[in-house]
Structure formats: structure tokens, C-alpha cells
Amino acid sequence: MSGPSTDAPRRGRGVGGRPRIEDVAAAAGTTAITVSRALRQPDKVAPETRQRILAAVEALGYIPNLSASALASRRSGIMALVVPTIANSVFAETVDGFSEVAGRAGFQILLGQGTYSAEAEHRLLTALAGRQPDALARIGIVRHDETRALLRRTRIPMAETWDLTDEPIDLVVGFSNRDAGHAMTRHLIRRGRRSIAYIGSDDDRAAARRRGYADALEEAGLHPAAPDIRVREITYGAGRRALRALLQLAPEADAAFCANDVLAVGALLECRKMGLAVPDRLAVAGLGDFEIAQELTPALTTVRIPSHRIGAHAAELLLARIAGETIDRRVVDLGFEIVERESA
Amino acid sequence: MSGPSTDAPRRGRGVGGRPRIEDVAAAAGTTAITVSRALRQPDKVAPETRQRILAAVEALGYIPNLSASALASRRSGIMALVVPTIANSVFAETVDGFSEVAGRAGFQILLGQGTYSAEAEHRLLTALAGRQPDALARIGIVRHDETRALLRRTRIPMAETWDLTDEPIDLVVGFSNRDAGHAMTRHLIRRGRRSIAYIGSDDDRAAARRRGYADALEEAGLHPAAPDIRVREITYGAGRRALRALLQLAPEADAAFCANDVLAVGALLECRKMGLAVPDRLAVAGLGDFEIAQELTPALTTVRIPSHRIGAHAAELLLARIAGETIDRRVVDLGFEIVERESA
DNA sequence: CTGAAAGCGCTTACAG
DNA sequence: CTGAAAGCGCTTACAG
């Protein structure tokens, strides 16, 4: 009535009243080790024994303590996944693919959020590593050298994703954000655009896309239509405001390359509101190929990213690592694809 | 070169070469218990000792093994969170709010995905419970009785969310989906609509919203405009197709109540494509108030859900439970709000 | 302010 | 096919 401390300890039960493996063994007339085997390698236990054990598990409502299991076996059964943000849906497909493959293989997902400040990320990754995950994946490339060193030292199989690098901490699965930005900008140029602006967010991947944009302009002897327009939040509203800002800064711009589809959709909606003809007066291009891109009128020209496959493939590679298989390609480029629709 | 087994075990190191608390203690000239204290209750250790210990931690790259910590202390430092799906962004805000509050309090998030079949969910929750989370939250109400009993037995502080029930397993934080459906349907009726159709998805929350819709119609002496239109996936495309199906089934319908904003947005886009005047010819209402709802033309009339607050509040309540505080309200209704815009 | 002893609940070799 | 012993790396009382 007045708290757990007044409960008499139950006979043959662990703290909190939860049965332990010993309790199951006693109920089944065998020992802990055989119970452990019956649960993990059923074939190695006589059918009758197994039967009695499973009955006892059922009767007692036994749930193995995975912390104890992890400590003893040195396999945690956990895969950690670090994402920049959950609120934004950009990475949802990747998380989904990762979770699907990892879950099917019996792993649980430890989710880490936030990779903005170097210190916060270092702390987060340290804490996650403390859980001894059997593998760790992160959206994006880890930038901070100290953190990279820490992760290398732990020797936890690790996948960086959503971009490429020649020297991953362990593995990297993604595509070249720089090349994607480059390809889309070239597409705009090929379509006759000469005054192309950049609208982007404030993260590493957007920065790489911007580099591709700048390179493509330079190769074509063109100049940016305006100073970069950078938004803090990735929302439709931010895309709208960015578009308005662009028209202020460079009324003569004939194309806007947006570093992601959310911003592009916002820009597109603002154009419609202002009665600005897309693509005749202004071409708008995005990156990501979210579902909404194809549903709008005009439909959004964008870059398709294998978001789900990035997650699934990273998980598969990590499973192979865990299984001790040799991985010959540590850098996996899943590519991207220009999807030409109506807006550019 | 050919695998970890060829590595000679290092002196004074645990398996895998990772330093243990003993190694830190040795390097700092003290004992494990003092190291543990220095890391967890710094005040209780002499400043000089603490200094030496922190230096040793730094030098060795020591990361506490949280499985061992969890086993010894019976506090895992984990909060488990179960969501129906990650790929869909509907719950992203809730996950974000939960993760924010839990993370700030030093907890890690164990993410479970999928609550569709009763057996799969039972297995998932059992597995999660095995990790001895200090608390567990789930989006939605757990339906399966056996699973409810299991969770009660574990005595893990638990929050069901995104709906209400008089008898939560432990706590429930949400709003009445039935009432939300009822309120929006009444709004449509008040606006003069008489032939109102329902478009929904195939989950418990949508079912509750549909009940509210049906009740409101009955109270007004009205009949559904058409048989329910139920989609399997929550996508804009599904919303589009549902709208077309509705016009086939009931060309005379004057309103469509969509169980969520994604379907409503899809329906709205399809109306525009078909040149169907909204709201004059057909009113369209959603539920959720996603950002896109306010950005479209006509802007979507919908129900605002405190999605972020549900997650944050559930986490706060669970933290209070963990701290042993008494919770007087086990059922927390965070309400909802009709947002009247242009579409209905 | 610091430490010796015991134990958390499992699994890993090893033996039979 | 089954079991006795040891140990995974921490923390919890308890003592001084």
C-alpha cells in the first residue's frame, strides 16, 4: 500500500517479483543452463525437457533479462541509430528500412537524436556506445575528429549514411550529395536557365548539394542569381519565405534549386499564391522525391534518393559485419536519379 | 589481420580491449567503487580524487558498460517507445516530444515498431520488457488482453497515448478520437452539409473517429453518403483514389470527412485536378493539422492534435513515476481543437 | 571521504 | 543431452 518496500520478498523470485531463469529451472526440474539453451538453441535440448521448460516459462511469465544476457554473452542484441531529427520526415524512410531489417534479425533499435553541436553528439554517441550495441548507424558523416576516433576505438561495426566519404569510420552507405546538386543544376542549365538561385538548409548534406550547384554554375560560366538563401527549419513555411526573399534579392532569377523537397514544395506553393508561372517564369527544383512532389500541380522536378534502401542496406551490411563476414566494399554508392516532371 | 581471435589479450583490459572500471581505478590509484561514485555522484568524492579519476577516464577512453550498470543497479536508463510505423510522419512529433524530454533526463530510447498483429505486438513488447526499461510508452491503446496482463505483471511504468481509455494499463495521455470525429462531423452538419462521407485508414484511432462520425450523423438524423471508404496505406495517392471512389459511389455527396490530414490533402488535390469546387461543391475535412494543411489552397479545415505535447507529457509523467512520485490523474485528456479554414 | 564483499541474472567453455 | 563452476562489469549496502 505504501510502496514496494512493504512487500515481503517472494520465495524464489528476483527483486520486483520477476521470475529469474533459476525459478524456471526449478519449476521445470532442470537447471539454468538448460533453460538458457532451450530458449536460445532449442535443438540442443531433448524435446520433453524443452516442453517442460516452455510450460514453466509460460506459467511463470518469465522474460529473460537482456541486460544480464548482454553482459554474459557480450552481445547486446541492440543496434543503435542516430538521426539528426525525428520531427522532420526526411529520414523516416531510412529509419523504417533500417528498423525493418534489424528487427527481422532479432535486433532492437536504440534511437539517438540530434547531431548538431559537436559536443552534444560526442556525448550522445558515448552514451550509446556504453550500451555496447552490436552495431551503430548514423545518418550523415561524423565530422568531429575526436568522435571519429572514439568510434574507431570501440570497434563497433558502424555505418555512416546519406552521403559518401573515402574514409568512413567503418562503412558508408549513401550517395553523393555534391553530385546530386551538380546534376540538378546542370539539368536546369541544359533547360536554358541562366540565373539560378540556391535555397537550402543548414546541414552538411545541404552544404554538399550547394557545392555541386556552385561547381555546375562555374563550369557553365554562370553566376548565382542571388546570395544563398539559407533557412533554419525545414518546413513548407520556410520554403515560402525563402521564395519571397529570393524574389526580393533577385527579381530576375529564372530558376530556384532547393536543397530539399520540403523547401521546394513551399516555394512552389508560394509561386502559385503569387501568380508566378512555374516553370515559365521561374523553374523550381527540389531534392528527395517525397510523395507530395508528384502530387502537386505543377508536379515537382526533383532528385530521387533511395532513402529506404539506404537504411535497409546499411542494416544488412552491419548484420554481415556482426556475423563476421568480410565486407569488400566499405563505400557503397546507391546513387540518385533526376526525376523530370513539370516544375523545371 | 585475420580476426579478433589472433589479438593477444591486453594487460589490464577487458575483452575487446575495452577498459573496465578496474582499469580506470588502477590508473587513478583508487578502487572501482570510488570511480563509480566519481562518475555518478561527483560531490561525494574528494576533488583531487575526482580529478585523477577523470584524467584516467580520459586517458583510457573509458566508457561505462551500461548493461553491467543496469544489471547491478536495476535501473536500465532506457525508456521504450512503441509506434505503429515510422515511415509515416503522423507520429513524428510525438516521438520527438518524448525523445526530447526523456533524453534531457538522461534516458535512452529503445524504439519498437509495428503493432498490427496481436502476436507480433506481444512478441515485440516481451522483447522490449526483457531489456528492463525503466518506463514504456506506446502510441495507441494496447488491445490484446494477454498483452495488457503481461505489461501489468512487469510493473514497468507505462503510458498508452494518442487515445483515451478509462482503464489504462498504467497511464494514458491523449485525446478522444471518437469525440474528435464527432466534433468535426457536427461542424460539417452545422455548415449545412447533409450527405457526408467517411474516408479512413485501418487502425484503432481511425475506427474511433469513425464512431464519432456515425454518432453525429445519427444524432442529426442523417445517413452516411456512402459506405465507408477505407484505405490501407496513409498516402496522398490513397487519399486521391479514395476521393475518386467516393464520387463513384455517391456523386451527390457534399462533404468528405477524412480520418487524417494526409488523406484529406490527397482528396483536396484530386478535387483540384478534377475541377471540383471545394468547399462549394464538396467540403473536405481532415484530422491532425499537419503543416501542409494550412499551406494548400483552399487551406484545409481540420482538427488540431497536441501531437508533440502528447509525447512530452507522457515522458514527463513517466519520469515522475520513475522518481516514485504519486500520480493522481492516470487519465490525461489533452484535448483537440477544430481549426476552421477554407475547405469545410 | 574511501573500500572489501557480495551479488545483479545471465552465458561460456568444459566435462561427462 | 545435461550440468557445476566461473565470470561478464558494474553497484549496493555496510563499515570504517
**Nearest residue to B4 (alpha-carbon basis) of B16, B13, B12, B22:** B16
Q: Which residue, among B2, B54, B63, B233, would best test binding to A if mutated, counting the most A CBs under 10 Å from its CB?
A: B63
Q: Is the pLDDT of residue B7 over 50?
A: no
Torsion of CA A196, A269, B96, A335, to 10 degrees: -40
Q: How far is the C-alpha of A23 from the C-alpha of A94, rounded, in Å?
A: 42
Decide: CB of A132 under 7 A of nucleic strand C. Answer: no
Residue of A nearest to B94 (CA): A87
Question: Which overall architecture, per CATH, does domain B76-175+308-335 show?
Answer: 3-Layer(aba) Sandwich (3.40)
Q: Is the pLDDT of residue A54 over 50?
A: yes
What's the whole-number mean pLDDT along residues A171-192?
A: 98
CB contact under 8 A, A235 and B93: no
Residue of B nearest to A146 (CA): B61
Instruction: Check the CA dihedral A8-B159-B101-A87 and report its sign.
Output: positive
Model confidence pLDDT, tens digit, residues B294-333: 999 999 999 999 999 999 999 999 999 999 898 889 999 9
What is the three-state SS of A211-272?
A: HHHHHHHHHCCCCCCCCCEECCCCCHHHHHHHHHHHHHHCCCCCEEEECCHHHHHHHHHHHH
Decide: CB of A207 under 7 A of nucleic strand C. Answer: no
CB atoms inside a 10 Å sphere around CB A161: 29
| Strand A283-285 to A255-258 pairing | parallel
Residue A121 pLDDT class (50, 70, 90 cuts): very high
Decide: CB of B120 under 7 A of nucleic strand C. Answer: no
* pLDDT of res. A114: 80
Q: Which residues contact B201 (CB under 8 A, 6 or more apart)?
A: B230, B231, B232, B233, B234, B259, B260, B263
Q: How far is the C-alpha of A20 from the C-alpha of A24, rounded, in Å?
A: 7
Q: Are B136 and B157 in contact (CB under 8 A)?
A: yes
| Strand A229-230 to A196-200 pairing | parallel
Q: Is the pLDDT of residue B150 over 70?
A: yes
Model confidence pLDDT, tens digit, residues A87-102: 777 898 999 999 999 9
Decide: CB of B132 under 7 A of nucleic strand D. Answer: no
Reading the block at residue B49, the C-alpha cell is 580524487
Residue B101 pLDDT class (50, 70, 90 cuts): very high
Q: How far is the C-alpha of B300 from the C-alpha of B305, rounded, in Å?
A: 14
A79 by DSSP, 3-state: which?
Answer: strand
Q: How far is the C-alpha of A181 from the C-alpha of A216, rounded, in Å?
A: 8
Q: Is the pLDDT of residue B167 over 50?
A: yes
The highest-level CATH class for domain B4-64 is mainly alpha
Q: Is the pLDDT of residue B16 over 70?
A: no
In the sheet where A255-258 sits, what is the strand order? A229-230, A196-200, A255-258, A283-285
In chain A, what are the domain boundaries? 4-64, 77-175+308-335, 177-304
Q: Does B297 contact A at CB distance below 8 Å?
A: yes
Residue whose grid cell is 532442470: A30
Residue of B nearest to A89 (CA): B89
Chain B nearest C-alpha distance from A137 (Å): 14
Q: Distances from the Cα of B285 to the Cαs of B199, B256, B258, B335, in angstroms? A: 10, 6, 6, 18
Residue whose grid cell is 495517392: B237
Chain A nearest C-alpha distance from B323 (Å): 12
Chain B nearest C-alpha distance from A240 (Å): 9
A136 by DSSP, 3-state: which?
Answer: strand
Decide: CB of A37 under 7 A of nucleic strand D. Answer: yes
Gap from A14 CA to C9 C1', in Å?
Answer: 9
A148 by DSSP, 3-state: which?
Answer: helix
> What is the longest distance spanned by two Cα atoms in chain B?
84
CB contact under 8 A, B61 and A95: no
Q: What percent of chain B has pLDDT over 70?
A: 95
Residue A14 pLDDT class (50, 70, 90 cuts): low
Q: In chain A, which residues have their Cβ closer than 8 Å to the Cβ of B132? A: 65-67
| Strand A302-304 to A337-339 pairing | antiparallel
State the Rg of chain A over Cα.
26
Q: How far is the C-alpha of A337 from the C-alpha of A334, rounded, in Å?
A: 10
Q: Does B237 contact A at CB distance below 8 Å?
A: yes
Question: Is the N-terminal amide bond of A84 cis, ω within 30° of 0?
Answer: no
Q: Does B323 contact A at CB distance below 8 Å?
A: no
CB contact under 8 A, A86 and B96: yes
Model confidence pLDDT, tens digit, residues A263-305: 999 999 999 999 999 999 999 999 999 999 999 999 999 999 9
Model confidence pLDDT, tens digit, residues B82-95: 999 887 778 989 99
Decide: CB of B44 under 7 A of nucleic strand C. Answer: yes
Beta bridge partners of B121: none
A positions 158-217 inside 8 Å of B (CB): none
Model confidence pLDDT, tens digit, residues B257-294: 999 999 999 999 999 999 999 999 999 999 999 999 99
Topology alike, domains A4-64 and A177-304: no
Q: Does A103 contact B at CB distance below 8 Å?
A: yes
Which nucleotide is nearest to B19 if distance is taken from CA to C1'?
D9
**Nearest residue to A206 (alpha-carbon basis) of A237, A253, A245, A238:** A238
Q: Does B119 contact A at CB distance below 8 Å?
A: no
What is the three-state SS of chain B?
A: CCCHHHCCCCCCCCHHHCCCHHHHHHHHCCCHHHHHHHHHCHHHCCHHHHHHHHHHHHHHCCCCCHHHHHHHHCCCCEEEEEECCCCCHHHHHHHHHHHHHHHHCCCEEEEEECCCCHHHHHHHHHHHHHCCCCEEEEEECCCCHHHHHHHHHHCCCEEEECCCCCCCCCEEEECCHHHHHHHHHHHHHHCCCCCEEEEECCCHHHHHHHHHHHHHHHHCCCCCCCCCEECCCCCHHHHHHHHHHHHHHCCCCCEEEECCHHHHHHHHHHHHHHCCCCCCCCEEECCECCHHHHHCCCCCEEEECCHHHHHHHHHHHHHHHHCCCCCCCCEEECCCEEECCCCC
What is the separation of C-alpha A14 from the centre of its chain, rounded to a whole number of angstroms? 38
What crossing angle do the helices spanning A92-104 and A307-322 adopt, rounded to 10°? 30
Protein-covered nucleotides on strand D (Cβ within 7 A) = 1-5, 7-13
- A77 residue type, one letter: G
Q: Is the pLDDT of residue A4 over 70?
A: no
Q: Which residues contact B120 (CB under 8 A, 6 or more apart)?
A: B114
Residue of A nearest to B291 (CA): A236
CATH 3.30.530.20 is held by the domain A77-175+308-335 = no
Chain A nearest C-alpha distance from B214 (Å): 30
B positions 8-27 inside 8 Å of A (CB): 15-18
CB contact under 8 A, B67 and A71: yes
Picking from A100, A272, A295, the nearest residue to B236 by CB comes out as A295
Beta bridge partners of A80: A110, A136
Compute the C-alpha angle B116/B120/B124, nearest 5°. 110
CATH 3.90.226.10 is held by the domain A177-304 = no
Decide: CB of A69 under 7 A of nucleic strand C. Answer: yes
* pLDDT of res. A87: 75
Which nucleotide is nearest to A29 if distance is taken from CA to C1'?
D2
Helix (H) / strand (E) containing A103: helix A92-104
User: Count of CB contacts below 8 A, A vs B?
Assistant: 152
Q: Are B130 and A65 in contact (CB under 8 A)?
A: yes
Picking from B67, B155, B236, the nearest residue to A16 by CB comes out as B155
A159 by DSSP, 3-state: which?
Answer: strand
Gap from B72 CA to C7 C1', in Å?
Answer: 8
* pLDDT of res. B13: 56
Q: Which residues contact A174 (CB under 8 A, 6 or more apart)?
A: A160, A161, A162, A163, A164, A310, A332, A333, A334
* pLDDT of res. B85: 85
Model confidence pLDDT, tens digit, residues B23-70: 999 999 999 999 999 999 988 889 999 999 999 999 999 999 999 999
Q: Distances from the Cα of B143 to the Cαs of B29, B159, B160, B167, B212, in angstroms? A: 55, 14, 11, 12, 19
Q: Which residue, among A58, A62, A65, A81, would best test binding to B if mutated, counting the most B CBs under 10 Å from its CB?
A: A65
Decide: CB of A15 under 7 A of nucleic strand C. Answer: yes
Decide: CB of B32 under 7 A of nucleic strand D. Answer: yes
Residue A108 pLDDT class (50, 70, 90 cuts): very high
Model confidence pLDDT, tens digit, residues B196-249: 999 999 999 999 999 999 999 999 999 999 999 999 999 999 999 999 999 999
Compute the C-alpha angle B205/B211/B213, nearest 5°. 105
Q: In chain A, which residues have their Cβ closer than 8 Å to the Cβ of B64? A: 130
Q: Does A309 contact B at CB distance below 8 Å?
A: no
Decide: CB of A46 under 7 A of nucleic strand C. Answer: no
Residue A85 pLDDT class (50, 70, 90 cuts): confident
* pLDDT of res. A5: 33
* pLDDT of res. A322: 94
What's the whole-number mean pLDDT along residues A164-170?
A: 96
